[in-house]
Structure 1
Amino acid sequence: MPPHPVEDVRHRGASHGPLTARDPIPAQARVHWGRWLSAAFGLAVMALLVWAARKIDWQEVLDALKQVPATALVAAGLLCVLSHLIYSSYDLVGRAWTGHTLPVRRVMLITFISYAFNLNLGSLVGGIAMRLRLYAREGLKHPVPTQVLALSLTTNWLGYGLLAGLLFLMGWLAPPPEWPVSASALRGLGALMLGVVATYLALCAFSPRRELRLRGHAMVLPGLRLALMQLLVSSANWLTMGVILYVLLQQGVPYGTTLAVLLVAAVAGVIAHVPAGLGVLEGVFVALLGPSLGHGQVLAALIAYRALYYLLPLALATVAYFMLEARSRR
């Protein structure tokens, strides 16, 4: 049986003692290169932010916000705060699993920053590179950050699989005739998703081996209690995101339909590899809800959603990120 993640961390951490004469790179040189790399990473982040800002029609954002009632905007804004708080707890599951001792508030801040950048700039920048970098800044040594990241990604898609599986299987989403996926195929996909979730839980509960290998990649399974916690927090986050859009759409369609369309749009954005899913989210919602609600109402709700859930958190995360960078340099 492979070692528990905590034992593995301690074993690997023992090799990171003081430098000796055998170290190929002197400490001063490593600090020098570390500063250059930090500056380069910071510049890359700024360049990506400028690129993302230039892609946004800010006047359109303001016009769309004016079309949504103030009460709906306030309610949606509060729900956005709740959703980001729930997502920020994803890495707390990894903290409990690996046994690292970073403070809870610091873990949640790192997760919030990476999630905001992930939403706007793509998973490679926010979900992976930035999260690993911030954890390394806090002193977590390999393989702890990658273990936390792997568990967080699994957490996100575990809740997705449960909710999408249930909604697709129950027929909450009626695909348009021109779509290549029929209603029966969508139900079959829902059943497959539920089967994957059930298999994961069964492996966490009963597998005698804690490590699985798939195409050369090792995956260490948590226990059933942590797996159920993964399912709970992820489902809560996806449900909250669905409520945000339901409120912004002014309850024009049933909540189950709104959530099902969001889940389809989420996976379409991942497949399209478009930063922030620009155009993909709107295209899916307009295709599925436009005929019943009108394209104008749907687009106004989605632009308001982007402003509240994507752009405002990105502004806060940018400030928090550079504050962490400045703190680590000090």
Structure 2
Amino acid sequence: MQSNSKKASAKLRSAWGRWLKHGVTLLLFMVVAILLFSLVQNMDWQAVIETLRGYSPALVMMGLGITAASFAVFSSYDLLGKFYTGHELPIKQVLPLAFVCYAFNLNLGAWVGGIALRYRLYTKFGLKVATVTRVLSVSLTTNWLGYMLLAGTLFTLRLIELPEHWQVGTLGLQVIGAGLLLVCLFYLSACCYSRRRTWQWRGHEIVLPSLRLALLQMLLGAINWSLMAALVYLLLPQGVFYPTILGILLVSSIAGVVTHIPAGLGVLEAVFIALLQHQVAKSEILAALIGYRALYFLFPLALACMVYLLLERWSKKQQRESESRH
């Protein structure tokens, strides 16, 4: 009886936890929606359209070049995973697979693109689930190490100014930045000096990478975030401080993660307008972000859908060849 009572209590706590999580997410979504509405009300939409029309073909091509470079860097995260795990999938399979997953991740959320699709494609090409988990862990760690390095530096050096009514404040942001840099330093120190290299966590083996791999993770992650900010910077009027754009992008990205909104839809716009409207007209900010979404989200997604179909055919062909050999 006591055992059943404990199980029932645990289930109740779990249910309450799920409802609380969903409630907080819904509340944050409503806050973002209200904030975005308040920021874009009385928006001069004709000015937004004129700004979009003013983008030259050369500028659009430069934007596509930055997008291509960013996706190439992000896809290389899975190459680090290949070297980390030692799996035998060729690079010509890893890179398009990672590209597809990143495009779906950006537009449909991490659970669909970053996790579910990665497991599906990698296992169809013959990798074991445990190996895919390790590749995924390297990719996620690389992304957030780069984030923490850049955000920690920008926040600590006060290269981004928050509105006065934001509760975090400049000092609070500096403290957060210092904390992020300490996490980066701790990770590098562990990879360099830790005598114990392996841990077990929930049935998965965690192996610390070498210092060289950890430094590559941090470098590639930082480059990718910097390229994303460079695209927004390109689409904005001249005279805006690039580190400011990078800092705002980093703030908006973590806000998007917290709210669980796919593609950070509305979150990105709300944060950028709130933090940049004292320097740039709202219409120009919104036009730049529409262009950013078209170049960095929608165009790669359309291409990724076609590449995904090719990968599915490729994996089926590989499976048939494997079955015929046996």
| TM-score exceeds 0.5 | yes
**What residue in structure 1 maps to residue 22 of structure 2?**
none
Give structure 1 stretches of 5+ with no counterpart. 1-58
Q: CA RMSD in A?
A: 2.0
**What residue in structure 2 maps to residue 22 of structure 1?**
none
Alignment coverage as a number of residue pairs = 272
1:77 aligns with 2:64: yes
Q: Which amino acid aligns with 2:304?
A: A
Q: Which amino acid aligns with 2:208?
A: L
TM-score normalised according to structure 1 size = 0.79
Give structure 2 stretches of 5+ with no counterpart. 1-44, 318-326
1:303 aligns with 2:290: yes
Preserved CA contact (<8 Å) 1:158 1:230: yes
**What residue in structure 1 maps to residue 308 of structure 2?**
321
Kindly state the Cα deviation for residue 63 of structure 1 after the two structures are TM-superposed.
Answer: 6.7
Kindly state the Cα deviation for residue 243 of structure 1 after the two structures are TM-superposed.
Answer: 1.1
Preserved CA contact (<8 Å) 1:155 1:231: yes
Write the mapping of 1:42-81 to structure 2, written as runs, cut at 5 A: 65-81=52-68
Kindly state the Cα deviation for residue 201 of structure 1 after the two structures are TM-superposed.
Answer: 0.5
For 1:83 and 1:122, how far apart are their aligned partners in 2? 18
**What residue in structure 2 maps to residue 240 of structure 1?**
227
Write the mapping of 1:1-330 to structure 2, written as runs, cut at 5 A: 65-212=52-199, 219-330=206-317
For 1:133 and 1:64, how far apart are their aligned partners in 2? 41
Q: Which amino acid aligns with 1:261?
A: I
Preserved CA contact (<8 Å) 2:97 2:311: no
For 2:177 and 2:202, how far apart are their aligned partners in 1? 25
- Deviation per CA, 1:188-231, whole angstroms, max 9, x where unpaired? 00000000000000001111111346788753211111101101
For 1:63 and 1:215, how far apart are their aligned partners in 2? 54
- Deviation per CA, 1:141-175, whole angstroms, max 9, x where unpaired? 13111100001000000010000000000001111
Preserved CA contact (<8 Å) 2:108 2:263: yes
For 2:222 and 2:285, how far apart are their aligned partners in 1? 24
For 1:306 and 1:82, how far apart are their aligned partners in 2? 16
Q: 1:192 to 1:180 in 2, by over 3 A?
A: same
- Deviation per CA, 1:46-104, whole angstroms, max 9, x where unpaired? xxxxxxxxxxxxx9998763243433222111111110111110010011111111111
Q: 1:178 to 1:195 in 2, by over 3 A?
A: same
Q: Which amino acid aligns with 1:289?
A: L
Q: Which amino acid aligns with 2:227?
A: T
Preserved CA contact (<8 Å) 1:252 1:293: no
For 2:200 and 2:180, how far apart are their aligned partners in 1? 20
For 2:54 and 2:189, how far apart are their aligned partners in 1? 48
Q: Matched residue of 1:89: which SS? A: helix
Q: 1:327 to 1:119 in 2, by over 3 A?
A: same
**What residue in structure 2 maps to residue 31 of structure 1?**
none
Q: Which amino acid aligns with 2:183?
A: V
Preserved CA contact (<8 Å) 2:49 2:287: no
For 1:90 and 1:118, how far apart are their aligned partners in 2? 14
Q: Matched residue of 1:143: which SS? A: helix
TM-score normalised according to structure 2 size = 0.79
Q: Matched residue of 1:172: which SS? A: coil
For 1:154 and 1:311, how far apart are their aligned partners in 2? 25
For 2:310 and 2:103, how far apart are their aligned partners in 1? 15
Identity of aligned residues (%): 49
Q: Which amino acid aligns with 1:263?
A: L
